[in-house]
Chain A
Amino acid sequence: MIPVSVTRDDVAHVARLARLAMSEQELDQMHGYFEAILEHFAKLAAVDTEGVEPTSHPLARANVTREDCVTEPMDRTKLLANAPLADGECFLVPQIMEDE
């Protein structure tokens, strides 16, 4: 069984990767939630998985593919209609900085 534990720093790291700004108070709260969730999942460790192959999908199917055929693309006006900001051709986002 893999010991499950999460530190407050782990939570801060995951928040950063997910681009979520969190206050100190929120981090403490999230840390509690994380621990509770992981504790809950730790119960799965009680299941005997000896000799069971790791699964990547719950359905026992494989090779669900499509033929290489072109379909009609989406209308650009419709696509951009839902964007918070667009210039008729492209989506607009705040200027991207290469360094985070």
Chain B
Amino acid sequence: MTTQPLIGLEVHAQLLTASKMFCGCPTEFGAPPNTQVCPICTAQPGALPVPNQRAVEMTILTGLALHCDIAPRSVFARKNYFYPDLTKNYQISQYEQPLCENGYVLIDTESGPKRIRVRRVHLEEDTGKNIHGGAGAASRIDFNRCGLPLMEIVSEPDLTSADECRAYLQKLQLILRWIGVCNGNMEEGSMRCEPTVNVIEVGGSAKTALVEIKNLASFRAVHQAVDYEILRHTRALLAGESTTRETRRWLAEGRTETMRSKEEAHDYRYFPEPDLMPLEVDEAMVTRIGADMPEGPDEVRERLIEQYELSSYDATVMTQSREFAAFFEAAAGAAEDPKAVANWMQGDFARLLNETGTPLAESKVSPAGLADLVRLIADGAISGKMAKTVFERMFETGKAPALIVDEEGMSQISDTSALEPVIDKAIADNPEAVENYRSGKKKALGALVGQIMKETKGQANPALVNELLVQRLGE
């Protein structure tokens, strides 16, 4: 029997609004418990919700970025269940008429680009947080998160491996950050993922029951949990064992366990939310929101390949974020050597940003500064080795590279008359190396170059030194 895993991903993304979904409470992460709450988000009697216009617009923008149809009419619904993290005993969500439907995300796979269909994007509110394991037999509830605006992005089961799931999540994270609607932080829970997994028989009718996985707080956990479930389902299918539709929890020890059976838990008795009016989105509104849409990561990537002749790999690295791509373009436009700019950005620049934990936006290096540095190297004013030191100073101080070269007396010696005495001295000091070179051991030149670089404190132009040496020794 040939088997095929089918995985769908449900992603919850917290929108970057200033206030909550249905009330004016602030949305900052990490505030002391129950200090960002009000009568509405704690469901005091008589309090009524009013939707956040910005959250609606951000969801529509997301729908456009994911190539969705935007519903001309959309309604909120009550999802009824009892749990202490829910103040109203229902969650306001969308059910039959979501804001966005029928889109897709393009991912890179080993066999080329693949289209992962997006079934729907809808708007809802987050729940509070239960803090377990406190003193005694009590659970503590913090409602700061209750009512935060969430988008739920549901894919079709088009993913067939853990690698594809990761690629999809990374792409989705990139897009959401790119258009500025979500910070994509999985550790803080502002982007959460619940995969639905089963395995089917290819060309047959055998299949395992759908399982939803919860408690995944990183890309790595998603990858591991999906891999684990694919293996579990495949074994069950091959052995002809029956499986049950259920929700399973991922455990840090590297396996999943049953959390609850699905039929029971999913009886949510949805009905239209009587406290809220429908949303009507006309074409003018879609056009107005779409006007805020930046050129997307895929488009920018293609353009970088075309316009700056970058390799596909370089173009992917340069479009890791909108800020990174903008920095690259600003520097490449001024530097005349886009490839060199790309090398610096993914080399020393990325390393220093990473080592110091500095976001690109806060870096002291400007695109013009990086372009200047690349030009100094191209002009032969400094060597590649010196440039590394200059760049570190730029990163620390934000000074222009030419100024650093001046101040630190680092400029390269490319003046033949200045180098000749040093070369003469090296030849005189190393008769053996000279002898070896002349008898055919070309490597012997290295010893001479080494002494010249030492004498000039690394400032001699290495290409020129080589050229002059070869010329002199050939005489």
Assuming the A-B contacts A70-B25, A100-B260, are A93 and B84 also in contact, with contact meaning beta carbons closer than 8 angstroms in the complex? yes
Per-residue CB proximity of A70-100 to B under 8 Å, as 1/0? 1101101001100001010111111110111
Q: Is the interface of B mostly helix, strand, loop or mixed?
A: loop
Q: Decide yes or no whether B450 CB sits under 8 A from chain A.
A: no
For the complex formed, measure the closest distance between the CB of A9 and the CB atoms of chain B, giving whole angstroms: 13
Q: Decide yes or no whether A68 CB sits under 8 A from chain B.
A: yes
- Write out the residue numbers on chain A whose beta carbons fall within 8 Å of the beta carbon of B26: 70, 73
Per-residue CB proximity of A47-72 to B under 8 Å, as 1/0? 00000000011010111111111110
Q: Decide yes or no whether B380 CB sits under 8 A from chain A.
A: no
B277 touches A63 (CB 8 A): yes
A74 touches B132 (CB 8 A): no
Assuming the A-B contacts A56-B75, A64-B277, A98-B260, are A69 and B138 also in contact, with contact meaning beta carbons closer than 8 angstroms in the complex? no
Of A69, A80, A95, which contacts B24 at CB under 8 A?
A69
Assuming the A-B contacts A62-B279, A65-B50, A87-B140, are A70 and B32 also in contact, with contact meaning beta carbons closer than 8 angstroms in the complex? no
Of B18, B42, B267, which contacts A69 at CB under 8 A?
B18
Alpha-carbon gap, A31 to B52, bound state (A): 41
Q: Decide yes or no whether B431 CB sits under 8 A from chain A.
A: no
Alpha-carbon gap, A13 to B36, bound state (A): 36
Q: Decide yes or no whether A2 CB sits under 8 A from chain B.
A: no
Chain A interface residue count, CB cutoff 8 Å, equals 36
B54 touches A95 (CB 8 A): no
The total of Cβ contacts below 8 Å across the A-B interface reads: 127
A96 touches B139 (CB 8 A): yes
Of A56, A74, A91, A100, which contacts B38 at CB under 8 A?
A74
For the complex formed, measure the closest distance between the CB of A2 and the CB atoms of chain B, giving whole angstroms: 15
Assuming the A-B contacts A73-B35, A73-B38, A74-B38, are A96 and B132 also in contact, with contact meaning beta carbons closer than 8 angstroms in the complex? yes
Q: Decide yes or no whether A46 CB sits under 8 A from chain B.
A: no
- Write out the residue numbers on chain B whose beta carbons fall within 8 Å of the beta carbon of A61: 277
A76 touches B34 (CB 8 A): yes
Chain B residues in the interface with A (C-beta under 8 A): 17-19, 23-26, 32-39, 42, 50-56, 73, 75, 80-84, 97, 130-132, 137-143, 249, 259-260, 264, 267, 269, 272, 274, 276-280
